[in-house]
Amino acid sequence: MTNTPAATRAEGLAKMQDFVPAMGRRYTNGRNYDLGPGRHTAVSLLSPYIRRRLVTEQEVATAALIAHGPEAADKFIEEVIWRGYFKGWLEQRPQVWASYTQGLATDLAALDRDRRLRRDVDRAQDGQTGLDCLDAWAEELVETGYLHNHARMWFASIWIFTLGLPWRLGADFFFRHLLDGDAAANTLGWRWAAGLHTRGKPYPARADNITTFTQGRFSPRPSDLAKVSQGLEATEPDGLPAVQPLRVFAPPHPDKPSVILITDEDCRIEDFDISSLDVRGAATLAASHLRSPLGVADAVGRFETSALADAASRAGLATTSLTADHPDLLAKWASERGATQIVTPYVTRGPLHDWMAEAATYLSARGIALTEWQRDWDRAIWPHATAGFFKVKQQIPAILRQLVPA
């Protein structure tokens, strides 16, 4: 794999500042063009930093507004808010994440039984399908840990409808390699391409669209790609599950002996009120290996490790390095420090949340509470993320007035 970018807040801020001049019309006009590795100049490449909140959504939205104003920056800000929309949507439909993990286990078991399926999946992941665009995107993903968003959409559509491969295996391939891999955005992006997120509206990869937005880098024939007339909604005949209330969480109690837990859910730990707590210790928790039952790319783990170390350093915390293995290790570590509560930024639906849910039993047995901080950004967006993005889009002016300095 090519060199992994530095996973520090300083590097993220430098990348943000470099891209500020392009957050307006240049982004609006160029964001859909996938020009290939080393030429992604019309998009920010900030997603690995924003995903871990080394740089926050609020910071990049503020920078765009100050530089360009609300009208010129609207497309860039919308894309920043999409991540919050996906997270809020999955928070209120946790059954969709549970269905993904269960279905992935079934699909992986099928690979062990079906040699033809294994061959076809391996060819797609190894860039050996004979379809130039898909093969190049698979290679770019593995080599760089990144794909342009438009390429992600095309790739998912071709994987599902042209190659006829299980969508969860494709989502897992992405999740194992993307430096910006996020459970909500990745799962729901693949569901959207399959016609499961916006029911009955799959995303078709079209030859002319690929030719135009790669500027002729790839020119597949229309006959190379499946005609997509319907999605996979028949595989989920009951439709989308009902919206559930947002999860109730316990905020930290200032008088209880506490330990701070830093995960790559949120590496800007200094934004929270640590000074009000009786802190007995701190730890970083490496958990990127939980993304998949298969091996997760080494670069993803390296990026996480570096981001966690940077977060601890900036917060001035001496930390223990933990890995999310047996969930009792968290309870044991906290108990040894005399803590009665663990304090961490809110953990959204995904593999780390699943692991923390297992750990809760062990924490409870030792009289330790899990408490969480939540950001105003999430609190402002998530309640509106109950259907399509349009409902959130309508609220963007109010959200920005509330959260972005005038």
* Burial class of residue 355 (count of CB atoms within 10 Å of its CB; 0-12, 13-18, 19+): buried
**Rounded mean pLDDT, 240-248:** 96
**Using an 8 Å Cβ cutoff, are 65 and 404 in contact?**
yes
The pLDDT tens digits for 333-389 are: 999 999 999 999 999 999 999 999 999 999 999 999 999 999 999 999 999 999 999
**Rounded mean pLDDT, 200-229:** 97
Angle, CA 38 vertex, CA 33 and CA 43 arms, to 5°: 45
Query: Looking at the predicted structure, is the pLDDT value of residue 122 above 90?
Result: yes
Are 167 and 201 part of one and the same domain? yes
The pLDDT tens digits for 29-43 are: 999 999 999 999 999
Query: Looking at the predicted structure, is the pLDDT value of residue 405 above 90?
Result: no
Query: Looking at the predicted structure, is the pLDDT value of residue 406 above 80?
Result: no
pTM over 0.75: yes
How many domains does one find in the chain?
A: 3
CATH number (domain holding residue 277): 3.40.50.620
Helix (H, G, I), strand (E, B) or coil at 85: helix
Query: Looking at the predicted structure, is the pLDDT value of residue 398 above 80?
Result: yes
Are 389 and 369 part of one and the same domain? no
Query: Looking at the predicted structure, is the pLDDT value of residue 61 above 90?
Result: yes
**Rounded mean pLDDT, 150-174:** 98
Residue 64 C-alpha from the chain's centroid: 22
Alpha carbons 45 and 11: distance in angstroms, whole number: 12
The pLDDT tens digits for 281-325 are: 999 999 999 999 999 999 999 999 999 999 999 999 999 999 999
**Rounded mean pLDDT, 46-71:** 97
pLDDT at 1: 54
Are 117 and 225 part of one and the same domain? yes
- Please, which pLDDT band fits residue 2 given cuts at 50, 70 and 90? low
The chain-wide mean pLDDT, for the chain, equals: 96
Are 289 and 344 part of one and the same domain? yes
Are 20 and 84 part of one and the same domain? yes
Are 45 and 138 part of one and the same domain? no
Quote the domain boundaries for residue 327: 257-374
CATH number (domain holding residue 66): 1.25.40
Query: Looking at the predicted structure, is the pLDDT value of residue 147 above 80?
Result: yes
Are 369 and 386 part of one and the same domain? no
